[in-house]
Amino acid sequence: MENRFFEIGVISNTHGIKGVLKVFPTTDYPERFKKLKKVFVELRGKTEVHNVENVGYHKQFVLLKLSGIDSMTDAEAYKTGRILIEESDAVPLEENEYYVRDLYDMEVFTEEGELLGIIKDVFPTGANDVYVISKEGEPDLLIPAIKDCILNVDVAGRKMTVRLLKGLR
């Protein structure tokens, strides 16, 4: 079975001289870093596995010390790299939750059954995500990921049902 990975952070810089990576978390749960024993670092088409030696936090960043990265020079080589974890290490989903990656290319229908298009992008805005719905020959539609709009998400069936609030179209 193919491993599926989740991105949980992006390496933005180094921290100090001992190879600590300054990571901008792209997960809703930055505290998850403390529970990890290993991570994958993807950079320029290559993926390496590293053991997690230490985790700290500074402002909005995670400070990550990984095996085999022992100096500032070593760490600089990993700038812009993505921190990935295996699906088995992902935070379990609660009821009515789903992973953003599973939404891409999902068909979106109104509650009346009209096909609006497919999800082409997801923008986090702070308050809620916004789904970009694309349909050939029509301008993109932006749907906020709020309970009033998102009626049902069927990940297995690759179908989302939405209510178009006034002014969305």
CATH code, domain with 46: 2.40.30.60
**Total length of the chain:** 169
74, part of any domain: yes
147, part of any domain: yes
Does the pTM surpass 0.85? The reply is no
93, part of any domain: no
Segments forming the whole domain that contains residue 32: 5-88
Same domain? 57 vs 80: yes
The CA–CA distances, whole Å, from 151 to 34, 102, 144, 148 equal 35, 17, 12, 7
Domain boundary among 22, 53, 88: 88
Alpha helices in the chain (DSSP H): 72-76
150, part of any domain: yes
Same domain? 82 vs 115: no
Assess whether pLDDT exceeds 80 at residue 3.
no
pLDDT in tens, 114-132: 999 999 999 888 788 999 9
39, part of any domain: yes
